[in-house]
Amino acid sequence: MCQVFPLDLSAYLFYIAKQMKRGELLGSLEHIILLALARLDGGAHGMIVRREIEERTGRNISIGAVYATLERLEAKGYVSSFTGEPTPERGGRAKRLFRVEAAGKRALQVSEQTIRSMTAGLKNRWESI
């Protein structure tokens, strides 16, 4: 990365953001779920992700929305999943654990940078309102 853009990381991220196709940009739920997964380092299943989001943001999202988003993120290559052991308390059903991949981390960085760029200078305006 530094060999291509030795000067500025933000310039690199801006370049990546411009290169990303429209479908590759993160939606708001995708962004939140990727952040939750990044916080729960090392792999987490859907319910843990849902709980983390609820505890941190107060948003009570459905498990279906979490899994549908995780499926989309996996198709984009931002997360990967692996199957855990089935347990009796889950009715003999196996867990599916998700973790953020390098592409997902990059997408998060790009989103972060995009939000930072778009909100730059707005703080003064909001304070004056």
Partner 1 sequence: MRRNSPPAIACWLLESVVPAPYREAMLGDLIEEYTLRAESTSPLTASRWFWSQACRSVPSMVRSSLRSRDCRISMGIAMGVYIVMAMLKFAADLTISKLVAPEQTTYVVLAPVVFLATSAIGGCVAARIRRGATIFLALIVMITVAL
Interaction site with partner 1 (CB under 8 A)? 45-47, 62-65, 67-68, 70-71, 83, 86-87, 89-91, 93-96
Q: Which is nearer to partner 1, 96 or 99 (CB)?
A: 96
103: Cβ–Cβ under 8 A, 6 or more apart, which residues?
76, 77, 78
Shortest reach from residue 70's CB to partner 1, in Å: 8
Measured between alpha carbons, how far is 14 from 21 in angstroms, rounded to an integer?
Answer: 13
Whole-number Å distance between alpha carbons of 41 and 20: 26
- d(CA 116, CA 58) in angstroms, rounded, equals 23
Distances (CA, A) of 40 to 16, 23, 56, 100: 26, 25, 12, 10
Minimum gap (Å) between residue 23 Cβ and partner 1 = 12
Q: Residue 97 Cβ, how far from partner 1 at the closest point, in Å?
A: 9
Separation CA 111–CA 14 (nearest Å) = 10
In the complex with partner 1, the residue whose CB is nearer, 12 or 67, is: 67
| Residue 71 or 112 having the CB closest to partner 1 | 71
CB of 37 to partner 1, least distance (A): 15
Identify which of residues 64 and 77 has a Cβ nearer to partner 1 in the complex. Answer: 64
